[in-house]
Structure formats: C-alpha cells, structure tokens
C-alpha cells in the first residue's frame, strides 16, 4: 500500500522532470532510487514501456563491484544516467585492453562531465575467474578511479546480461570463442530510453560525439 | 516463455555469486506489471475494443514447397516432384537456440477487417525561398514546391488495437494524417521539385528513435546535399532537429544530363523516402518515417489511355509491406539491444495490419515495396484454396524493365527492394479471394533460410493482404511487350572500368566493409565523375545476408557468382538499387556516377546492420 503511494509520487516526480525537458547530461547522475531500496525486482519500479524494457534487460540482481560491494545494476548504476557499458575480462589479450584504454581516453576527453553526467559500467566476460580484487588491480593499472564500476559475479547472471544486451553472436562457435567477443560499447541514456551500440575501437573523439548525441 | 524467464531475473534474490536460487513463486506468477492505460496514449484515443480471435493462417507453417531452384520458383510452373530439399539451417542446441530478442508476441487481431489504406499524394504549396537548394542549369522547368511535416501521431493500425504512437511524415496542407505511412510524392521527369521537411518531432521524446532527421530519397538522382547524408560534418550540415527544417531539391533530370547525354532509359518507377540518421535509421524508420515516391513521364504517364497504357489511377496501387511488433498496449515494440535485425509478427500493408482490398475484374498494377527493417519477403499471390497465381513483372528499383517478365509467381524482395507487377483479375470469377502471402522462411536477422538461388519457401506463410474480386470493369490498360528498353553495358565500357572490391563481413560483433566500421568523416572510395566503375560486392560473412544499397545511381548487374544473373536483375533487362547478397554471394555491378559530385554512401539495407556500422562513404569528384 505504502509502496504504491510512493510509486505514484515518484511517477509524477519523474513526469514533471520529463516535462521540464531537463537535460540528463546536466541533471545529477546521482538521482536517488529510494523506491527500490530493499528490493531487487525492477518490476516494482514505476517505469513504463521502453524504460521498463531496458530495466528488465539490466535487472537488479546484485553484482560485486571492484571494491567488493554488492550493486543493484539497474537501480544503482543505470537508472537516470547516461552510461557507457562495456564487457571485458582481466586476462584478455585481445580487444579488451584496447577497449579499456580507449575508454580512458574518452574519460579524459569528457573531463569534468565524466562521473557527473556520464558514467562507465564494465561487466566481466569471465566471471568465474575475475574477482573484485582482479578488477581493482585492473582499474589501478589503467589509472581508473571514480565514476567507473567494474562488475563481476555469478556466471549465469553475467551470461544472461551479455546476451540481453546484444554482446553475443548467433553463431554458437563464434559466440563460444572469447577471443572473438563483441568489441562494442553500449551508449545509453536511460531517462530517454535511448540506446545504441558503437564499435569500441572508434577514435575517442568519435565516441565522445556518440555519447553527446545519445545524451541529448 | 523467454520473456517470462527474463522477468525472473528481477525476482532473483540470490547473492552476487549465487544466482541459481530463484523465487519459485515468480515462475508461475505473472510479474507485477504496471497495467492500465499507457500514459503515452491520450485516454480519449482509447476507443476500440480489445481482443480478437486468432486467425488460423497467421502463424508460419513449416511445410516446404518441393525442391526447386530460383528460376523454377520464379517461373510459373507446376509444383511437385523433383529433388528432396536438403538445405536447412541447422537448429542450434543449447542456450543459443532461443531468440535473443525477447519481445513478447503481439496481441492478436482479426485479419482482413480493415480496408487497405491509400496515403494520399503530396500536394504543392506556394513557392518559397529555398536558398540552399541548387538546381543545375539543365533544369529549365520551374520547380514545384512541397512541405512535409514530420510529427509524432497516434495511428490506428488495426480497429481492435488502441492507437499506436508513431512518427510519420504528413502533407503540410493536411491537418490530420491518420496514416502510418507518409504522403506519396509523384514527380515528373525533368520537372524539379523542392520539398521542405519540417521537423516537428518531440524534442523530449522518451523511447527508441531519435528526433533528428536527414531524409533520404531512395533511388533518387540529385545533388549530394539533398540525398540525406546520415551525419552532419564540419561545414556540411545535413541533420536537422526538432523545430528546424531542411529543403531538399530533386532535379528529376535524366542521368547523364550534365555531359550532354541525358539517358531517358535510366528513369525510375517506384521509389521511396525515409529517414537515414546515422546509428538510428532502424529505430526512426521503424517508428514510421517512411513514404512512397512515384515517377511519371511520357511513357509511364499514370494514365492508362496514354503512353504505355499501364494500369493507372485507382488500378495502380502502391503496397508498402512492413512487419512490426506491438506490446500489450498496442504500442510499437523494438529491442534496442538487438542488432541482428528486427523481425516483427504483425503484417502491415500501407500501415494497416492485414488489410483487405476489393478489386474489379481487370488488370491492376501493384508497386511492391519491402519496407521491413530486416525481413526478406518471398511474396506469392495465392488463391484461397492454395493455388499460386501468376503476374507480370514490369519494374524493379531501377525502373521499368526493357520488357515484361511474364507469368512470374514469386516476388523476392530484400529490404528496400521494389517490384512493380501487373495482376489480371479478369482471370477470376467475381467473389474469388486471393492473398499476398510471404512464403519465405526467416528465423532471425541473418536472413532467410536457403540461398539466393534456392530460398527456402514454405507451403504457407503469413498473409499480408486479402484481395476480393468484384464486378467487371472496363480495362483499356495493357502490358506491352516493350517497356523501357535500354542497352546492356558494352564490353568496351567494361574493359575501361575501374574495378573495386567491397567485402561485407561480421567481425567482433559489428558489421564491416573491407574491415572498416562506418566512418563518414572520410571516403573509403573516391570515384571520378562520369567514369565507368565495376564494383564487386562480396559477402564474406558466414550465414548472414546483406542487401546492399548504393546511393545516386542504379546498378547494372553483370555477374552473380561468376554467372549470368537471373533476368530480374540482369543487365539489359533490369536495373537495381539494392543488390541481394546471400551467404557467400559475389555480385559484380557496373556503375557510372554521372552528374553530381559530393559525398554519398553505400550500406547494407538490413537497417540494423547499417546502424551497426555496415556503411561506407564514397566521394564523387
Ligand atoms: Cu546486412
């Protein structure tokens, strides 16, 4: 009962927010998600239509970040944000180091907008081996501090995420071959329900342009 | 099934490393969906009752027609006997067996209860200043001016569904546009037109689709800035946002005009226009930014008492075929995370789900457009009871054929392809019922089953349109033995051509041309104006089909896999602006970029592939 009232309240709050046309890039990325506290069910969120569809894709079943904290993926890391999503694994000798290095350049180009208006989320492609401390080391190696969350956890959960978010190949042989994994990024603007893929190897300037386009 | 499994994820209360534990209750319970009226749809628009019976023939039937090659399939021939069909796509075992686009099925609707919509022809406006448009000096006729508004609107796709929020083009002279498809532009040879597109899409739109536009005149031969280049570049603005407009100038001159050799045999027939925004074309086109464009001249007069006397007026019917998916609120569903290619389960013609058309007992010209994002079509005209009926093919994307190809029984249309056909309903008694049925098997965005030469055709398929034969009617129309003859490319021109190879391939989850993802800031090829070119289009990606579209000029198809191409794309008979590359196909096309310099693109027209970077820029200098 109380949840329902709260849902309605937040619903109208969001509607007002959307109506004011405020730019998600300037809106604080720290938008709170009180409603979802204590639940891992995105269906309790007062989201409709296409925002709901994205919420279902990310889900809220928790994963562990590089500090070892449990994070609800959608509510804490995606909702109300402009995000850049990537998939890597710490032992990758193929495209991942390049992807991460490129994202570091993007982060530098974004300057103060990074962390405030745009955040990065990186999921593990090898959750059975990638531990939070592996990712802590990985982040340190690449000079990564705030605004960038590395997530690992249950294999099933991450496999499903990988597939739901389009990082798979219909050919099962290629799909099973980690060296041929999708070298793409998702750039998303959750409040706008606007999502796109970009090749991770695009020049960093082009990636920034793509982020700006999606963030509009 | 899968959608339910997906919703389970939200219901999982397991810790980060232990996802196996899922709440049992959720397996059977329906997820706590927020139901009721969709806030995106104004309540007053909810007028129609919901729910309807399933049509028994709506589903795909997996029986196959007996083994035939493409030539047999295309010719009207007796079906039966022959080789057993062996080529089938293997079914995957394991987790990949499921389709990843997890959109639930659309609500059911009763088929054939709504008449075929006929989006009206665009009407002129008073001339206005269009300083950005440049017409060549050869354009001597005064231009006609038009205005098109792109807008969000609610359209009834079916009387049993609530109105669907769409984007679409509208004639600025018409206040209310109840169609899902935009106005039909009709333009005459050598009569230039200026079309102002005004973007009135919602700036604060929430959902798939980006409210910025660049309008591509698909199959047009016009100045580069009016082609709908997908991205604005420094000093070259082609994209316009909400509140902005852009003027497009289509000279409608015959290719070769600037070299004193206008080629009146190189004129189009059925064209279309659609959005071409970089990375978001699939979403924007799927939302509805689509319209038809018909061409008229002294041969194809659109008057069946003059010129070639092809069926005209009410007997000349454009049919835009599209597939869509709707959610339980009747709203467009689209999986923005899936890049294999969108497949819908609702069959629309001219923006209505499974409409019907009453015809007279006489000849009709149908202009077939595959307006699907990723679905290939193998359309048969089927009489109720099952017999496959014949038609004459008179035009492809590249305009009227040299001569009609008669007694065909399959229109194979890759995304964006067009074919004009003539059906003679005088063959049938009044009361006869026929259907346009898609017999091609396609399970995902890779493309249809089988090969270009031997597509896998099913014994039944979804019916897009029902046709009911009515009373007699006078029929002065003919399908003459000669349509718009043109000469095939000569050996001398072939010898003189610059040869280039473009390989279309999937690599690390994206589609690339010659190894490169789209980069519109620089050309992958630079070609000389008016110089002969032979482009070898090669499909290097296992199992994937790619319909390849080249802007600005039509293609003369010289060879398909080293062989003479089938008649419907063979040089001397037909021209194309979309070439179907089936798995491992290699097609050689001749091109001459005659009149307009500037930046152009070539891309896959499975639009999700295009948006996933299978596009390249070429410059004509
Ligand atoms: Cu393709």
Q: Can you tell me the distance from the alpha carbon of B575 to that of B556, in angstroms, rounded to the nearest whole number?
A: 5
Bridge partners, B618 (sequence order): B525, B600
Segments in B44-85 forming alpha helices (H): 70-74
Identify the pLDDT of residue A160.
92
Residue with tokens 């095939």: B488
Q: What percent of chain B has pLDDT over 90?
A: 81
Q: A43 pLDDT band (50/70/90 cuts)?
A: low
Residue A11 has pLDDT above 60, yes or no: no
Q: Which residues of A touch B519 (CB under 8 A)?
A: 202, 206
B339-349 average pLDDT score? 95
Ligand 1 center from residue B610 Cα (angstroms): 7
Q: Do B509 and A52 touch (CB under 8 A)?
A: no
Biggest CA–CA distance in chain A, Å, is 52
Q: Can you tell me the distance from the alpha carbon of B274 to that of B292, in angstroms, rounded to the nearest whole number?
A: 9
Q: Is residue B15 part of a domain?
A: no
Q: Is residue B167 part of a domain?
A: no
Two structure tokens written together for B433: 């019922």
B314-323 average pLDDT score? 98
Identify the pLDDT of residue A78.
96
Residue A138 parent element (H or E): helix A132-141
Residue B145 has pLDDT above 70, yes or no: yes
Segments in B46-140 forming alpha helices (H): 70-74
Q: Do B613 and A199 touch (CB under 8 A)?
A: yes
Residue with tokens 């319909």: B547
Q: Is residue B199 part of a domain?
A: no
Q: Can you spell out the DSSP letters for B177-211? A: ---SS-PBEEEETT--EEEEEEEES-TT--SSS-S
Q: Which residues of A touch B542 (CB under 8 A)?
A: 171
Q: Do B9 and A61 touch (CB under 8 A)?
A: yes
Two structure tokens written together for B287: 């939302």
Q: Is residue B395 part of a domain?
A: no
Bridge partners, B193 (sequence order): B144, B250
Q: B89 pLDDT band (50/70/90 cuts)?
A: very low
In terms of CA atoms, which chain B residue is nearest residue A47? B34
Domains of chain A: 4-215 (3.40.30.10)
Q: Do A62 and B9 touch (CB under 8 A)?
A: no
Residue A2 has pLDDT above 80, yes or no: no
Q: Which residues of A touch B329 (CB under 8 A)?
A: 49
Q: Is residue B55 part of a domain?
A: no
Q: Do B279 and A210 touch (CB under 8 A)?
A: yes
Q: Do A175 and B96 touch (CB under 8 A)?
A: yes
Q: Which residues of A touch B337 (CB under 8 A)?
A: 57, 164-166, 186, 195
Own/partner long-range contacts of A207-210 (Cβ < 8 Å, ≥24 apart): A207/A84, A207/A102, A207/A103, A207/A106, A208/A106, A208/A109, A208/A110, A210/B279
Tell which residue, A80, A168, A150, has the closest CA to residue B100: A168
Q: Is residue B559 part of a domain?
A: yes
Kindly report which listed range (B99-108, B198-207, B593-602) carries the lowest average pLDDT score: B99-108
Q: Do A213 and B210 touch (CB under 8 A)?
A: yes
Q: For chain B, how many structural domains are there in total?
A: 1
Q: Which residues of B touch A157 (CB under 8 A)?
A: 9, 12, 16, 19
Identify the pLDDT of residue A180.
75
Q: Which of A61, A184, A198 sits opposite B12 (nearest CB)?
A: A61
Residue A206 parent element (H or E): helix A204-215
Q: B65 pLDDT band (50/70/90 cuts)?
A: low
Q: Is residue B228 part of a domain?
A: no
CATH value at residue B613: 2.60.40.420
Q: Is residue B281 part of a domain?
A: no
Q: Do A43 and B40 touch (CB under 8 A)?
A: no
Q: Which of B33, B336, B340 sits opposite A195 (nearest CB)?
A: B336
The CA dihedral of B378, B438, B268, B290, to the nearest 10 degrees, is: -130
Residue B165 has pLDDT above 50, yes or no: yes
pTM of the model: 0.85
Q: Can you tell me the distance from the alpha carbon of B555 to that of B299, in angstroms, rounded to the nearest whole number?
A: 22
Residue B357 exposed, middle or buried by CB count within 10 Å (0-12, 13-18, 19+)? buried
In terms of CA atoms, which chain B residue is nearest residue A172? B96
Identify the pLDDT of residue B1.
34
For residue A141, the distance in angstroms to the closest alpha carbon of chain B comes to 25
Interface A–B counts its CB contacts (< 8 A) at: 166
Q: What share of chain A is helix, strand, coil (3-state, %, to 5)?
A: 45, 20, 35
Q: Do B519 and A191 touch (CB under 8 A)?
A: no
Contacts of A38 (CB under 8 A, 6+ apart): none
Identify the pLDDT of residue B76.
36
Identify the pLDDT of residue B562.
97
Q: Which of A19, A56, A170 sits opposite B446 (nearest CB)?
A: A170
Q: B581 pLDDT band (50/70/90 cuts)?
A: very high
Range of the domain at B533: 491-620
Name the more confident of B41 and B333.
B333
DSSP, collapsed to helix, strand or coil, labels residue B242 as coil
Kindly report which listed range (A166-180, B81-95, B143-157, B491-505) carries the lowest average pLDDT score: B81-95
Residue A70 has pLDDT above 60, yes or no: yes
Ligand 1 center from residue B274 Cα (angstroms): 18
Q: Can you spell out the DSSP letters for A83-97? A: EEEEEE-TT--SSHH
Q: A42 pLDDT band (50/70/90 cuts)?
A: low
For residue B561, the distance in angstroms to the closest alpha carbon of chain A comes to 24
Two structure tokens written together for B24: 């049992």
Q: Do A170 and B444 touch (CB under 8 A)?
A: yes
Residue with tokens 């919509």: B117
Q: Can you tell me the distance from the alpha carbon of A42 to that of B536, in angstroms, rounded to the nearest whole number?
A: 50
How far is residue A210 CA from its own chain's centroid?
Answer: 16
Helices (H) and strands (E) in chain A, counts: 7, 7
Residue B265 exposed, middle or buried by CB count within 10 Å (0-12, 13-18, 19+)? middle
Assembly ipTM: 0.80
Identify the pLDDT of residue A216.
86
Ligand 1 center from residue B250 Cα (angstroms): 28
Region label for B14, one of left (φ > 0), alpha (ψ between -120 and 50) or beta (otherwise): beta
Residue B454 has pLDDT above 80, yes or no: yes
Region label for B183, one of left (φ > 0), alpha (ψ between -120 and 50) or beta (otherwise): beta
Q: Which residues of A touch B339 (CB under 8 A)?
A: 166, 197
Residue B131 exposed, middle or buried by CB count within 10 Å (0-12, 13-18, 19+)? exposed
Identify the pLDDT of residue B27.
31
Residue with tokens 């092809």: B310
- Are the C-beta atoms of residues A42 and A55 closer than 8 Å to each other? yes
Residue B303 has pLDDT above 80, yes or no: yes
Per-residue pLDDT tens for B197-216? 999 999 999 999 999 999 99
Two structure tokens written together for B335: 């999986």
Residue B263 exposed, middle or buried by CB count within 10 Å (0-12, 13-18, 19+)? middle
B275-291 average pLDDT score? 97
């Amino acid at each position: 009962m109380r949840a329902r009232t709260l849902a309605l309240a937040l619903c109208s709050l969001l509607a007002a927010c959307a109506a004011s046309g405020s730019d998600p890039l300037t809106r604080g990325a720290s938008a709170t998600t009180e409603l979802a506290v204590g639940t891992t069910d995105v269906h309790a969120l007062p989201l409709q239509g296409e925002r709901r569809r994205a919420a279902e894709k990310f889900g809220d079943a928790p994963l562990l970040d590089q500090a070892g904290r449990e994070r609800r993926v959608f509510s804490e890391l995606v909702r109300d944000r402009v995000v850049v999503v990537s998939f890597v694994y710490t032992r990758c000798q193929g495209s991942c180091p390049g992807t991460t290095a490129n994202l570091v350049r993007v982060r530098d180009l974004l300057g103060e907008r990074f962390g405030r208006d745009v955040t990065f989320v990186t999921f593990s492609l090898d959750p059975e081996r990638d531990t939070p401390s592996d990712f802590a080391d990985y982040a340190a190696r690449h000079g990564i501090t705030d605004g960038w969350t590395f997530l690992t956890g249950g294999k099933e959960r991450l496999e499903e995420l990988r597939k739901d978010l389009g990082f798979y190949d219909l050919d099962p042989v290629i799909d099973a071959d980690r060296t041929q994994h999708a070298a793409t990024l998702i750039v998303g603007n959750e409040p706008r329900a606007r999502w796109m893929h970009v090749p991770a190897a695009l020049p960093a300037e082009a990636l920034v342009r793509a982020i700006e386009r999606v963030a509009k | 099934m899968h959608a339910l499994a997906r919703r389970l994820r939200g219901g999982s209360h397991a810790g980060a490393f232990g996802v196996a534990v899922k709440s049992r209750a959720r397996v059977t319970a329906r997820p706590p969906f927020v139901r009721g009226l969709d806030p995106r749809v104004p309540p007053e628009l909810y007028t129609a009752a919901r729910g309807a019976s399933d049509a028994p023939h709506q589903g795909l039937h997996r029986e196959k027609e007996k083994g035939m090659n493409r030539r047999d399939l295309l010719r009207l021939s007796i079906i039966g006997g022959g080789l057993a069909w062996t080529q089938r796509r293997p079914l995957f075992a394991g987790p990949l067996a499921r389709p990843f686009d997890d959109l639930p099925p659309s609500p059911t609707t009763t088929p054939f209860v709504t008449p075929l919509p006929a989006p009206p022809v665009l009407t002129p406006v008073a001339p206005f200043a269009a300083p950005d448009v440049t017409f060549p000096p050869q354009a001597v006729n005064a231009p006609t001016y038009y205005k098109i508004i792109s807008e969000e609107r609610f359209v009834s796709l079916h009387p049993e569904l609530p109105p669907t929020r769409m984007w679409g083009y509208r004639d600025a002279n018409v206040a209310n546009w109840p169609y899902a498809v935009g106005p039909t532009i009709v333009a005459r040879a050598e009569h230039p037109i200026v079309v102002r597109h005004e973007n009135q899409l919602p700036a604060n739109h929430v959902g798939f689709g980006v409210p910025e536009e660049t309008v591509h005149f698909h199959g047009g031969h016009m100045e580069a800035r009016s082609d709908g280049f997908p991205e604005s570049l420094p000093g070259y603005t082609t994209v316009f946002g909400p509140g902005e407009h852009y003027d497009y100038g289509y000279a409608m001159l015959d290719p070769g005009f600037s070299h004193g050799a206008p080629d009146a045999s190189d004129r189009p027939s059925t064209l279309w226009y659609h959005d071409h925004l970089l990375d978001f074309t699939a979403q924007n086109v799927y939302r509805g930014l689509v319209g038809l464009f018909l061409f008229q001249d002294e041969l194809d007069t659109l008057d069946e008492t003059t010129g070639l006397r092809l069926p005209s007026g009410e007997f000349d019917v454009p049919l835009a075929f599209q597939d869509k998916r709707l959610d339980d609120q009747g709203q467009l569903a689209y999986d923005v995370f899936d890049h294999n290619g969108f497949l819908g389960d609702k069959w629309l013609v001219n923006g209505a789900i499974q409409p019907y058309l009453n015809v007279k007992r006489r000849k009709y010209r149908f202009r077939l457009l595959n307006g699907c994002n990723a679905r290939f079509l193998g359309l048969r005209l089927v009489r109720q009871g099952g017999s496959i009926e014949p038609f004459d093919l008179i035009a492809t994307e590249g305009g009227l054929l040299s001569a009609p190809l008669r007694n065909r029984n399959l229109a194979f249309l890759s995304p964006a392809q067009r074919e004009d056909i003539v059906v003679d309903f005088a063959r049938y008694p009044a009361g006869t019922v026929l259907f346009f049925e898609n017999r091609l098997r396609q399970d995902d965005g890779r493309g249809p089953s089988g090969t270009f030469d031997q597509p896998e055709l099913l014994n039944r398929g979804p019916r897009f349109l029902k046709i009911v034969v009515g009373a007699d009617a006078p029929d002065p129309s003919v399908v003459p033995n000669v349509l718009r003859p043109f000469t095939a490319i000569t050996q001398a021109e072939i010898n003189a051509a610059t040869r280039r190879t473009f390989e279309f391939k999937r690599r690390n989850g994206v589609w690339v041309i010659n190894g490169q993802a789209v980069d519109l800031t620089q050309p992958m090829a630079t070609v000389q104006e008016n110089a002969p070119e032979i482009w070898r289009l090669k499909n290097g990606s296992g199992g994937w089909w790619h319909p390849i579209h080249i802007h600005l000029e039509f293609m003369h198809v010289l060879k398909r896999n080293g062989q003479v191409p089938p008649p419907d794309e063979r040089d001397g008979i037909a021209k194309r602006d979309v070439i179907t590359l089936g798995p491992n196909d290699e097609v050689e096309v001749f091109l001459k970029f005659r009149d307009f310099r500037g930046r152009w693109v070539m891309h896959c027209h499975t639009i999700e592939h295009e948006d996933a970077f299978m596009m390249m820029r070429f410059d004509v200098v």
